[in-house]
Structures are given as C-alpha cells and as structure tokens.
Amino acid sequence: MEGYTSELLEQWDREYIWHPFTQMQEYVKNRPLVIERGEGSYLIDIEGNRYLDGVSSLWVTVHGHNKRELNDAIKEQLGKIAHSTLLGLANVPSILLAKKLVEITPPGLTKVFYSDCGSTAVEIALKMAFQYWKQKDDGAFRGKTRYISLGEAYHGDTIGSVSVGGMELFHDIFRPLLFDCVHVPTPYCYRCPLGLAKPSCGLTCVEAVEEVLAESHGEIAAMIVEPLVQGAAGMIVAPEGYLKRVRELCSRYNILLIADEVAVGFGRTGKMFACEHEGVTPDLMCLAKGITGGYLPLAATLATDEVYGVFLGANRECKTFFHGHTYTGNPLACAAALASIKLFEDERLIEELGKKISYLEEGLKRFTGLDHVGDIRQKGLMVGIELVKDKETREPYPLEDNMGHRVILEARKNGLVIRPLGNVIVLIPVLSMSIPELDRVLEITYKAIAEVTGGSR
C-alpha cells in the first residue's frame, strides 16, 4: 500500500463512511475489518488475514473471488466500451444477455428490462403491474391498483419495495411515506402466525391467500413473493407446494404473480431459479445479486409477452413504460453476467451442488444439540439458524442482548465472515466453495454459537 497505512484506513472508515444497516454508534467502538482482496472462497484483509466468505459478500458471489474468466470478460469489454445508454440505443452485451436470460429462466418469460439492483428490479415490476391493468382492455381493469405480499417480506429499500415489505424493524418508521399493501400470513412454520403446526395444518396459510383474493381480486394488481425462501426475514422456508398453490390462485383470480428471485436466483436453492422447484412461471420475475457472479451491479425484470403486449401502441396513446436508469444494461455488467452464466454451464455448477447441499444438511444436524438453537432452516445453500433464549418456549433473545451479532464477531475471530438477521445466524456460502471449506464454515459457526450462548446438552 502506498500513501496510507492500515491504521489510517481504519480511522478514515470510522470518520467518513456511513455503513448500511449498521448502528454507527456501536460500529465505531470496534476495530473495523477492512477487506483488501479476495481469492476463491476467501476474503483477505489489509493485514493479510484470511476469512472464509460465509455470506457470499451479501449473497452475490457465485464462482469465488478473483475468478479469472470473469476478470477476463470484464477486461475484454473494457477494451471496447464501458457504458452506453439503452435509451434509444442498443449494445452488444445487453442483447446477448437478454437472449440468454430468456433461455434459462422459466418458460414464458420473454422480455428483459434492465436496472441496477434488486430493489429497482422490484420497483419496475410493481410499476409494470400497475400500468398493465390501467391499459389492459382499454382500462377495463383500472381498479386493480393494490398489491399482496407476505408478512415479514423484504423486497428492497426504495419506497415501492418497502411498501410491499412486511418487516416492522426495517420498514415501520417509513410508514407515512408508503402506499397501502395487503399482507397475508407468512409460511413461517417454526413460529406459525396462525398458531398451527405441520403437517396437520394442511397449508392453511395458502387458504388465507385465497380468502383475500376471493374477496378483493377486483382491486389487486399483483402478488409478490420471494419463491421458497424469505431471505432477510431469517431464511424462512415455505412448505412444499406453497408456491405452486399461490401461482394457481393468482391465475384463477386474474392476479399477476411477481417472483422476487433477487436472493434465491442463480443457484442458491439448488436449481438455477427457485421457481423451477415447483414448475412455476411468474408473470414478472426480478433478478439481481448473483446475476454477475458478484462482480458488478446489475438487475433485470423479466416479463411475459402478455404483459409486454399491453404496453404497445402509437406514441399518441402514451402506453410507453416511462421508466429507466442511467446505467441500464451497462455493457461491463452484462459482459460479466454472460461470463458467469457460461461458467455455470462449463463447470456444471448446478449439478455439483447436490452433494454440497447434502453435506450441509448432515453437518447441521449436530447444531440441534446446542441449548439455544431453536430452529434450523435450509434450502439449497441457504441456511438460517435461529437462536432462542429458551428452547422449550421458543422465547427469543431480546434485542438488547444483540446475540446474533455477538456470534458473528466470535466467528470472525476464527476466520469466518457471516452476518446475522436479528437472532438468526445466516450461512450463504459461495456456491463454488469446496466440501472441506464448507466443513470449516460449519465448525467455526458451531463453536461460535456454543461459546456465546453457553454450550450444548
């Protein structure tokens, strides 16, 4: 390093940066972890210490850090052009990527609208759904202006995506800024909001969705879901068949289905897209995070021909979708995404995930013996370990205990970077991580939980 020391970087971090989802009054009390580079499954700090990336750098890294093929793709594109607008122009990588996305996503999704992050992808889907009904059949359905989402939903941090969110901790303070949304019970089996238990519940949570649709379908534009796993809610895994039933209900009651695959897409659940597990094609699908392999910001909202066709007309009809972002379809990001998808194919990454998923599932069984592990949720390489103050009553740790954060700091001492979601310890390892590395992730996490919460039975 030239011109600055480790100490100066740490000082400037505290002095100048406002970190996301971080209580800065607490953050500045501790020495920051400053990452300088990455190699494969590892993050390396400014002093050369190595940490396994157990959260895929916020759920985005797919093929590992500093992957040669991705590096080369970006360098090659950089030698041509870094950016040109899609407003009235086209560029080569965005065209090739759109074609590829249509080929690999569920059948029926045929049009790609680019943006730059998951939240904007959701905003676009919400606006498309709203405008679709305003224009369909000469406005015969213009009363369909509301949305349904799940309790504890998280779809991003812009105003529209927060409006369809359901996490009080993140969203409640902004309530005066938001539009109204209908929330239905989340399929949170460990803490069922309906007070039921599997398997005798018979997917009553889906019946609650049908009740709302049956009564209010004339005013509902779309239902938005995170297919199979509600990530930021604490890795809440929906029971088998839930997503398929929701699709059937939306079709029956003439409601658009928006699949927010931002977190679960690109292999995280064991298939390329979570909707594939239950053979579901949504009307709109939101993609981001892993789309570029964790290299550059990019997002896409995919739509069916049915949705797209309603926006076609003469200029005087003003049916255009008046929405766009400066870096929409950025050539560098699209080149990275193309290279990432090619790596999925060349290295047969999806096919290789099965044994890793099974290894994780087997390795997590020992966590049930820890006194303060209440529930373990897993879908693919997405894991949530819910810590509780009392295992029998399922009493959660109070906010002031900061238990999840204490556990992840303990894990960091032993070379693992992970993040909590409240009392839930989240593991989302890099998809290319080896079995020995996964074993190390499990070992460090187990010891950290045991150390901070007080051992095992």
Which residue do the tokens 């224009």 mark?
135
Peptide bond between residue 199 and the one before it cis (omega within 30 degrees of 0) = yes
pTM for this structure? 0.97
Which residue has 């649709």 as its token pair? 213
Element (H, E) at 351: helix 349-364
Q: Find tokens 């066709």 and name the residue.
A: 309
Q: What is the CATH number of the domain that holds 41?
A: 3.90.1150.10
Domains contained in the chain, number: 2
- Residues 332 and 389 both lie in one domain: no
pLDDT at site 201 = 83
| Banded pLDDT at 171 (limits 50, 70, 90) | confident
pLDDT in tens, 279-322: 999 999 999 999 999 999 999 999 999 999 999 999 999 999 99
Does 399 map to a domain?
yes
Task: Give the domain-ending residue among 294, 325, 346.
Answer: 346
Question: Residue 3 — pLDDT band, cuts 50, 70, 90?
Answer: confident
- Pair (163, 311) in one structural domain: yes
Residue 451 reports pLDDT greater than 80? yes
* Boundary of a domain, candidates 300, 326, 346: 346
Q: Is 3 helix (H, G, I), strand (E, B) or coil?
A: coil
Domain-located, residue 3: no
Contact 235, 375 (CB under 8 A): no
Residue 1 has pLDDT above 80, yes or no: no
Q: How far apart are CA 156 and CA 240, in angstroms?
A: 25
Span 209-238, average pLDDT = 97
Residue 67: count other Cβ atoms within 10 Å of its Cβ.
23
Instruction: Please tell me whether residues 257 and 168 are part of one structural domain.
Output: yes
Question: So what's the pLDDT on residue 218?
Answer: 96
- Burial of 312 (C-beta count, 10 Å sphere; 0-12/13-18/19+): exposed
**348-384: pLDDT as tens digits:** 999 999 999 999 999 999 999 999 999 999 999 999 9
Considering the domain architecture, whether residues 372 and 236 belong to the same structural domain is answered as: no
Q: What is the rounded distance in angstroms from the CA atom of residue 19 to the CA atom of residue 13?
A: 9
Residues 6 or more apart whose Cβ sits within 8 Å of residue 169:
422
Q: Are 323 and 427 contained in the same domain?
A: no
Mean pLDDT value across residues 87-108: 98
Closest of 252, 278, 250 to residue 106, by C-alpha: 278
- Please list, in sequence order, all residues whose beta carbon lies within 8 angstroms of the beta carbon of residue 379, skipping any fewer than 6 positions away: 228, 229, 235, 237, 264, 269, 270, 274
Residue 12 belongs to some domain of the structure? no
Residues 208 and 80 in one domain: yes
Query: Whose CA is closest to 287, among 164, 54, 106?
Result: 106
Alpha-carbon distance of 70 to 338, in angstroms, equals 9
What is the DSSP secondary-structure string of 65-79? BT-HHHHHHHHHHHT
SS3 label, residue 329? coil
Give the contacts of 294 (CB within 8 A, at least 6 positions apart).
56, 57, 60, 61, 62, 63, 65
**What is the distance between the alpha carbons of residues 397 and 310, in angstroms, rounded to a whole number?**
50
Domain assignment of residue 155, yes or no: yes
202 and 325 fall within a common domain: yes
Strands 35-39, 42-45: pairing is antiparallel
Out of 346, 375, 404, a domain closes at: 346
Tens of pLDDT, residues 145-156: 999 999 999 999
Task: Specify if 24 maps to a domain.
Answer: no
Percent of the chain scored above 70 by pLDDT? Answer: 99
Q: Is residue 4 part of a domain?
A: no
Q: Is 363 left (phi over 0), alpha (psi -120 to 50) or beta?
A: alpha
Predicted pLDDT at 455: 65
Mean pLDDT of 324-328: 95
Domain of 102, CATH number, reads 3.40.640.10
Asked if the structure places residue 232 within a domain, the reply is yes
Q: CB neighbours (10 Å) of residue 175?
A: 10
pLDDT of residue 169: 83
**pLDDT grade for 456, boundaries at 50, 70 and 90:** low
Containing domain of residue 274, as a range? 72-346
For residues 426 and 383, the answer to whether their CB atoms sit within 8 Å is yes
| pLDDT digits 0-9 by tens, 15-48 | 999 999 999 999 999 899 999 999 999 999 999 9
Percent of the chain with pLDDT over 90: 93
Q: Can you read off the two tokens belonging to residue 386?
A: 């819910």
Query: Domain for residue 17, yes or no?
Result: no
